[in-house]
Amino acid sequence: MAEDSVAPVVTIQPTSQRKQIETFVKDLDPHAVLEWSEEEVIDKYLKPAGFGYLSNTFKEQHVTGAVLLALSEDHLVEMNVLVVGERIKFLEYLRLLKKQKKDADRSKALWSATTPVTNCAYHDKCGGFCFLLCCPCCVPTTEWRVTGQGIRWRKNTSSIDCCGETETQFIDFRFLKDLEFRKDPKCLCCCVGSKLLLYADDKDTVSGTRQTRTNISQTELSAPIAIFHPDSARAESIIRNAWADIDLVAD
């Protein structure tokens, strides 16, 4: 009589299944995950990722989305997830989700603004201010955006400049050297506005679809990037905090 066939023991997930789960995790919105209830963690994460058998354990421990993103291996041990292989698989997928949240936090806009503003305190000449008031679409603008990674600004051409090109530039916080906030007389010295000066020794420059990396010379360093905006004082505080966070991560 032939011996009964024995099914092979599966010790790891098949590659195709692992890829599917990794894709599923990467498609999740980490900020939406933070708002998940206990039931949503089970239905939207555990079951689709192949950990549905942990549903009761997670429910007993009141694991919400915010708690999910804070879990560590020690927590899993405390929750009696004792099989090492299962813990490793779970943590591998969870690291992907945590990395997405970190990347999303760093790319989220902390401060944004558009210049020039319709305020005479931010124009050198009254004529330029009047022109902006009369025909705002005819004036080139600059869009500023501060994230956890750095400062990005995009120079837009006016609507009447059909041959102009949009230029985008970026200063990585790792290459930011200094900030300076000033009060600046404008519009024939009749008004006083505020401006923020950005000093950097290196930056990423993106023009159109072509990206290049250039070093700023000492001459360029002496001519900082200036943000003329009523909210530039708050921008300075936000930039300094984000800049400090980058230094802490580097350390």
Which tens digit of pLDDT belongs to each residue from 24-40? 988 999 989 999 999 99
DSSP 166: -
Residues 227 and 133 in one domain: yes
- Give the pLDDT confidence score for residue 98 in this predicted structure: 93
- Give the pLDDT confidence score for residue 16 in this predicted structure: 60
Residues 148 and 242 in one domain: yes
5 in any annotated domain: no
Contact 46, 55 (CB under 8 A): yes
130 in any annotated domain: yes
79 in any annotated domain: yes
Residues 123 and 88 in one domain: no
- Give the pLDDT confidence score for residue 97 in this predicted structure: 93
Residues 127 and 232 in one domain: yes
Residues 197 and 242 in one domain: yes
Taking only the tens of pLDDT, the chain with its 251 residues reads: 444 544 444 444 544 678 888 889 889 999 899 999 999 999 999 999 999 999 999 999 999 999 999 999 999 999 998 889 999 999 999 999 999 988 888 888 999 999 998 887 777 777 777 777 788 788 889 999 999 989 999 999 877 666 667 789 999 998 999 999 998 877 656 678 899 999 997 544 443 333 333 344 444 445 789 999 999 999 999 999 999 887 655 54
204 in any annotated domain: yes
Contact 224, 232 (CB under 8 A): no
Q: Which of 106, 137, 170 delimits the end of a domain?
A: 106
128 in any annotated domain: yes
- Give the pLDDT confidence score for residue 68 in this predicted structure: 96
Residues 117 and 36 in one domain: no
8 in any annotated domain: no
Range of the domain at 72: 15-106
DSSP 149: S
Residues 122 and 160 in one domain: yes
Write down the pTM of the prediction.
0.62
Distance CA 220, CA 120 (A): 28
- Give the pLDDT confidence score for residue 245 in this predicted structure: 83
> In one letter, which amino acid is 16?
S
Residues 158 and 142 in one domain: yes
Residues 37 and 130 in one domain: no
Distance CA 206, CA 167 (A): 7
- Give the pLDDT confidence score for residue 207 in this predicted structure: 38
- Give the pLDDT confidence score for residue 170 in this predicted structure: 92
Residues 69 and 186 in one domain: no
Q: Which of 37, 71, 106 delimits the end of a domain?
A: 106
Which tens digit of pLDDT belongs to each residue from 213-240? 334 444 444 578 999 999 999 999 999 9
Question: Is the Cα torsion angle 171, 173, 178, 179 positive or negative in sign?
Answer: positive
Domain count within the chain? 2
- Give the pLDDT confidence score for residue 1 in this predicted structure: 45
Contact 206, 168 (CB under 8 A): yes
6 in any annotated domain: no
Mean pLDDT of the chain: 81
The end-to-end CA distance of the chain, in Å, is 68
Residues 125 and 237 in one domain: yes
CATH code: domain of residue 86: 1.10.150.50
Residues 47 and 131 in one domain: no
58 in any annotated domain: yes
Q: Which of 106, 128, 144 delimits the end of a domain?
A: 106
